[in-house]
Amino acid sequence: MTTTGTAGGTTPRRPAARQVVVSILTIDCGFDDNGRQTRQPRAKYDCNLCGQREGPVDGASAVIAFSASIRTDHPARCTARSSA
Ligand SMILES: [Zn+2]
């Protein structure tokens, strides 16, 4: 792919760097049927490097705390990531 420069010439465009999904944080916001909570919020974290799943956790406050910290907590204890 090329782009047109200001002088009218073309410049080769560098392809995007390869991106890999290393983890997936899934949050289910639950379901509220006119004030009656029929499904609690829940969250889970899947690491594609070590294959571990953290959670699921249930309940609004647990989901908030889990989603705020898991993206830093899991990499610190992930067995597939080198810490050195
Ligand atoms: Zn991991």
How close is the Cα of 72 to the center of ligand 1, in Å? Answer: 11
How close is the Cα of 13 to the center of ligand 1, in Å? Answer: 34
How close is the Cα of 42 to the center of ligand 1, in Å? Answer: 20
- Model-wide pTM > 0.75: no
Residues comprising the chain, all counted: 84
How close is the Cα of 63 to the center of ligand 1, in Å? Answer: 19
CB within 5 A of ion ligand 1: which residues? 47, 49-50, 78
* pLDDT by 10s per residue, the chain, length 84: 444 545 556 667 877 888 899 999 999 999 988 888 889 999 999 999 999 999 999 999 999 999 999 999 999 999 998 754
